[in-house]
C-alpha cells in the first residue's frame, strides 16, 4: 500500500473511532458533565483528523482551519479533568471556581484559533510520498505551544488528583497518564516536517489506538460493561494481526509454489479482503452461534433475563424449605414437568431420592455439589437448562448455609448475653428464696404427718424450680467421654415413679455416646420426667429409647398426647411446655445442654409414635 494512502486511511479510521466513542459516551453519560467533555475531546480529535484528510485532497483552507482548531482538544480534556477530579476526597473550592469559569477556557481556545488563522499559522508543503502535507508557520507555533500548555495543565491536575483519590478513580487516572504518554509519542512525529525534518510519520499510523485507549482507561472502572466490548475488540485485533501476517507469508511464498497469480496481487488488497472477511465473520458470529445452539440444544432458551430471574427468586429464600419450594417451582416451569429438589445440608443424612427427575444438592468436603437424576430421557436443551439451574442452586445453597450460620451465631451471642444477665439475677433470687424456704421446712417439724407431707412436697417443688432456673441460666461446660447409654438408663430407672408405665430401651450392648456424663444424665432425667407427666397412670403408657441409623443419634419415644405442630421450635423455649406442675424449663435446659455438646434436639411425630424427641450428639473424635 502506498505510504500516503496508509496515512490517509489511518486518519479516516481515527476520525471514525473518535466519533463512535464520542457518540457512545454521550448516550451512556447523559447526566455526567465530565463524560460529555470527554466526548467533546473525541469529536475534536475526529475533526482534527478530518482536517488532515482535507489537506491531503487539496482542500487547504478548510483543512488548515480544522487542524488549527486543535487548542479545543486539550480544553475539552481540561474540562473533563476538572469534573473528574473534583469529586469526593478531591473536591476543592478552587476547582469549583475553575468549573464555574470553564467558559473562559473555551473562549481563550477560540481566540488562539482565530489568531492563528488570521496570521497564517499553517501552510501546505510537498515532501516524500505526500503532495499535500500540513506544517506550522509563524503564529501556528503559538497555537501548538498553547495546545501543549493546556494539555500539561490538564495532566498536572490529574496528577494532583492521583494523590487524593483511591480505588477505581485512582486507577483511571493512572490509565489516562499511560494513554497520554502514548499519544505524545505518536503526535511527536506529526510536527517533524514543520521543524524541517522530512521524515515519514510512521508512529501516526497507530493514532487510532490513542483515542480508544484514553477513553477505555477512563470508563473501564466506571462502566464495567465496557470491559466485555474491550475483550471482543482485543480478540478481533489479534485475529486481524494474525490473518494479515499469514496473508503476507502466503503472498511471499506463493510464487515458489507456482501460484503466480496470487503472488502478483498487491498485499494491501489481500489484507483488505481479509479484514472484510473478519468483519463479516464478526457480524455473523452471534446469529450463527445462536442457530448452532438451537440445533445442538433444541428447546433450550437460556438468556440473561432468565438467569437473573432464577438468581433473584432463589436469593429471596431464607430457609431450606423456602429454597426447596422456590427451586422446584422454577425448574418445573422451565422443564414443563414436575422436578423434585432434594437438599442435604451438612450433618443431615441423605434420604432416599424420589422417582422421576430430581436435582440433588449435597454439602460435601469441597463445598456444595449438585447432580441430576432421572434426566436420561430429557432433550439435550432441557438437560442443559437443568445443569445450569443446578449450578445456580448449589451456589445459592452455600450462600444460604453461611447466612443461616451467621444468624445462628448471632442468636447464640444474644442468648449468651441474656443468660449472663439472667444468671446473676437467678443466683440472687435463689439465695433470697432458699433462706425463707429452709425456715418454713424447719417449722413443719411439729405438724401432723399429712400437713407436713403436703408442705414438704410444695417446698420440694419450689426447690426444683430454683434448681432448674439456675441450671438454665448458668454457664454449661462439658467434658465429653464415651458413655454406655444402656448402663446409664438402667442406673437411672429406680429414680422415677413409673406407676404402671412400661419403659424399655433398644440399644446395642456396646452403644456409646460422646457426651458429658452429668449433662447426659440431666438430659435423660428431664426427657423421661417430662414424658411421665403425660403417660403416667394412663392405660398402655409406654416409653422407648432406641438408637438411630447413625452414630450419635438417639430417639426417645412416648405415646402421650400429640404436641401442637404450631409450637415448632418454640417448644424448646422457656415456659412454653404444657406440663402441669413443671418448671417450664425442662426442654429448654435439654436444648442448652445439646447446644453445649455441639449437637441439637428436635421434635418429630412421623416415626409411628405420637411424640419423639430426636437427639443428635457429635461423634467420638478421639484418635
Summarize pLDDT for 25-47 with one digit per residue, the tens: 787 666 666 778 888 988 999 99
Checking if the pLDDT of 224 tops 50, the result is no
Per-residue pLDDT, averaged over 589-602, amounts to 87
Q: Looking at the domain assignment, is residue 622 inside a domain?
A: no
Checking if the pLDDT of 303 tops 80, the result is no
What angle in degrees, to the nearest 10, is found between the helix axes of 140-162 and 167-188?
Answer: 160
pLDDT of residue 25: 78
pLDDT of residue 548: 87
Whether residues 315 and 288 fall in one domain: no
Whether residues 463 and 491 fall in one domain: no
Cα separation, 564 vs 571, in Å, equals 9
Q: Looking at the domain assignment, is residue 32 inside a domain?
A: yes
Cell of 113: 484559533
Per-residue pLDDT, averaged over 194-202, amounts to 87
- Domain span holding position 251: 227-296
Q: Are 8 and 50 in contact (CB under 8 A)?
A: no
Whether residues 164 and 256 fall in one domain: no
What phi and psi values does residue 622 have, to the nearest 5 degrees? Answer: -80, 145
Whether residues 501 and 454 fall in one domain: no
Residue range 127-180, pLDDT digits in tens: 888 899 999 998 999 999 999 999 999 999 999 999 888 877 888 888 888 888
Q: Looking at the domain assignment, is residue 422 inside a domain?
A: no
Checking if the pLDDT of 319 tops 70, the result is yes
Whether residues 284 and 311 fall in one domain: no
Domain boundary among 177, 208, 224: 224
Whether residues 69 and 200 fall in one domain: yes
Per-residue pLDDT, averaged over 493-500, amounts to 84
DSSP 401: H
Whether residues 136 and 250 fall in one domain: no
Cell of 307: 438467569
Checking if the pLDDT of 577 tops 50, the result is yes
Which is it for strands 367-373 and 358-364: parallel, antiparallel or unpaired? antiparallel
Query: Looking at 539-599, which runs of residues are DSSP E strands?
Result: 542-547, 553-558
C-alpha separations of 161 from 60, 86, 170, 211, 505 in Å = 41, 8, 8, 21, 77
> Which residue has better confidence, 472 or 198?
198
pLDDT of residue 468: 62
Q: Looking at the domain assignment, is residue 419 inside a domain?
A: no
Residue range 102-123, pLDDT digits in tens: 899 999 999 999 999 999 999 9
Whether residues 160 and 261 fall in one domain: no
In SS3 terms, 305-329 reads as HHHHHHHHHHHCCCCHHHHHHHHHH
Residue range 271-295, pLDDT digits in tens: 677 778 777 877 777 787 777 766 6
Averaged pLDDT score across all residues of the chain:
81
Among 359-373, 428-442, 523-537, whose mean pLDDT is lowest? 428-442
Domain boundary among 224, 245, 269: 224
> Which residue has better confidence, 442 or 327?
327
C-alpha separations of 226 from 20, 171, 183, 218, 616 in Å = 14, 16, 21, 11, 53
- Closest by Cα among 606, 601, 453 to 526: 601
N-terminal to C-terminal alpha carbon distance within the chain: 79
Alpha-helical regions (H) of 93-225: 93-100, 102-118, 140-162, 167-188, 207-219
- Closest by Cα among 335, 315, 321 to 393: 315
Whether residues 395 and 491 fall in one domain: no
Whether residues 335 and 431 fall in one domain: no
Q: Looking at the domain assignment, is residue 415 inside a domain?
A: no
Q: Looking at the domain assignment, is residue 270 inside a domain?
A: yes
pLDDT of residue 171: 84
Per-residue pLDDT, averaged over 583-597, amounts to 81
Q: 254-258, 552-556, 569-573 — which one is most confidently predicted on average?
A: 552-556
Q: Looking at the domain assignment, is residue 80 inside a domain?
A: yes
pLDDT of residue 618: 86
Domain boundary among 207, 224, 241: 224
Q: Looking at the domain assignment, is residue 571 inside a domain?
A: yes
pLDDT of residue 470: 61
pLDDT of residue 90: 87
DSSP 354: P
Whether residues 490 and 609 fall in one domain: yes
Checking if the pLDDT of 296 tops 80, the result is no
Q: Please, which pLDDT band fits residue 542 given cuts at 50, 70 and 90?
A: very high
Q: Are 95 and 108 in contact (CB under 8 A)?
A: no
Whether residues 382 and 284 fall in one domain: no
Give the chain's domain count. Answer: 5
pLDDT of residue 417: 67
> Which residue has better confidence, 221 or 593?
593
Q: Are 551 and 510 in contact (CB under 8 A)?
A: no
- CATH, residue 496: 3.30.565.10
Amino acid at each position: 500500500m502506498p505510504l500516503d494512502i496508509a496515512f490517509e486511511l489511518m486518519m479516516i479510521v481515527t476520525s471514525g473511532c473518535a466519533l463512535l466513542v464520542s457518540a457512545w459516551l454521550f448516550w451512556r453519560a447523559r447526566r455526567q458533565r465530565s463524560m460529555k467533555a470527554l466526548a467533546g475531546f473525541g469529536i475534536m480529535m475526529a475533526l482534527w483528523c478530518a482536517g488532515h484528510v482535507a489537506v491531503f485532497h487539496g482542500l487547504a483552507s478548510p483543512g488548515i482551519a480544522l487542524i488549527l482548531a486543535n487548542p479545543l482538544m486539550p480544553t475539552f480534556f481540561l474540562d473533563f479533568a476538572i469534573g473528574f477530579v473534583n469529586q469526593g476526597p478531591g473536591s476543592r473550592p478552587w476547582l469549583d471556581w475553575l468549573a464555574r469559569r470553564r467558559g473562559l477556557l473555551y473562549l481563550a481556545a477560540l481566540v488562539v484559533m482565530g489568531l492563528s488563522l488570521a496570521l497564517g499559522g499553517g501552510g501546505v508543503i510537498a515532501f516524500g510520498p505526500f503532495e499535500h502535507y500540513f506544517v506550522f508557520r509563524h503564529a501556528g507555533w503559538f497555537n501548538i505551544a498553547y495546545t501543549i500548555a493546556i494539555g500539561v495543565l490538564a495532566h498536572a491536575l490529574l496528577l494532583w488528583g492521583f494523590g487524593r483519590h483511591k480505588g477505581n478513580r485512582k486507577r483511571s487516572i493512572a490509565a489516562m497518564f499511560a494513554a497520554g504518554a502514548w499519544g505524545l509519542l505518536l503526535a511527536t512525529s506529526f510536527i517533524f516536517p514543520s521543524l524541517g525534518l522530512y521524515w515519514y510519520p510512521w508512529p501516526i499510523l497507530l493514532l487510532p489506538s490513542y483515542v480508544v485507549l484514553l477513553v477505555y482507561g477512563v470508563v473501564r472502572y466506571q462502566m464495567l460493561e465496557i470491559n466485555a466490548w474491550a475483550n471482543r475488540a482485543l480478540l478481533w485485533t489479534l485475529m486481524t494481526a494474525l490473518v494479515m501476517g499469514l496473508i503476507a507469508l502466503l503472498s511471499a511464498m506463493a510464487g515458489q509454489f507456482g501460484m503466480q497469480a496470487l503472488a502478483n496481487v498487491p498485499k494491501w488488497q489481500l489484507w483488505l479482503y481479509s479484514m472484510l472477511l473478519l468483519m463479516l465473520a464478526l457480524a455473523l458470529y452471534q446469529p450463527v452461534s445462536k442457530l448452532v445452539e438451537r440445533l445442538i440444544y433444541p428447546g433450550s432458551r437460556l438468556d440473561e433475563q432468565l438467569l437473573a430471574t432464577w438468581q433473584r427468586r432463589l436469593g429471596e429464600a431464607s430457609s431450606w424449605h423456602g429454597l426447596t419450594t422456590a427451586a422446584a417451582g422454577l425448574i418445573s416451569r422451565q422443564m414443563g414437568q414436575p422436578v423434585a429438589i432434594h437438599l442435604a445440608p451438612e450433618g443431615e443424612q441423605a434420604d432416599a431420592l424420589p422417582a422421576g427427575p430430581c436435582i440433588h444438592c449435597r454439602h460435601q468436603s469441597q463445598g456444595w455439589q449438585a447432580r441430576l437424576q432421572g434426566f436420561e430421557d430429557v432433550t439435550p436443551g432441557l438437560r442443559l437448562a437443568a445443569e445450569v439451574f443446578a449450578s445456580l442452586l448449589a451456589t445459592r445453597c452455600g450462600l444460604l448455609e453461611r447466612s443461616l450460620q451467621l444468624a445462628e451465631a448471632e442468636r447464640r451471642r444474644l442468648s449468651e448475653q441474656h443468660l449472663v444477665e439472667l444468671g446473676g439475677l437467678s443466683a440472687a433470687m435463689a439465695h433470697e428464696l432458699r433462706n425463707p424456704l429452709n425456715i418454713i421446712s424447719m417449722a413443719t417439724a411439729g405438724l401432723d404427718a399429712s400437713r407436713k407431707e403436703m408442705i414438704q412436697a410444695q417446698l420440694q417443688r419450689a426447690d426444683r424450680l430454683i434448681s432448674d432456673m439456675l441450671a438454665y441460666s448458668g454457664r454449661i461446660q462439658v467434658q465429653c467421654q464415651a458413655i454406655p447409654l444402656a448402663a446409664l438408663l438402667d442406673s437411672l430407672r429406680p429414680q422415677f415413679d413409673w406407676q404402671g408405665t412400661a419403659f424399655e430401651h433398644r440399644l446395642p450392648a456396646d452403644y456409646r455416646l460422646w457426651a458429658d456424663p452429668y449433662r447426659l444424665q440431666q438430659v435423660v432425667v428431664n426427657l423421661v420426667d417430662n414424658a411421665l407427666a403425660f403417660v403416667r397412670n394412663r392405660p398402655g403408657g409406654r416409653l422407648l429409647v432406641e438408637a438411630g441409623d447413625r452414630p450419635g443419634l438417639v430417639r426417645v419415644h412416648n405415646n402421650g398426647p400429640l404436641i401442637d405442630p404450631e409450637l415448632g421450635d418454640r417448644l424448646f423455649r422457656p415456659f412454653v411446655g404444657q406440663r402441669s406442675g413443671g418448671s417450664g424449663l425442662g426442654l429448654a435446659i435439654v436444648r442448652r445442654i445439646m447446644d453445649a455438646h455441639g449437637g441439637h434436639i428436635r421434635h418429630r411425630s412421623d416415626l409411628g409414635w405420637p411424640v419423639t424427641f430426636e437427639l443428635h450428639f457429635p461423634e467420638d473424635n478421639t484418635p
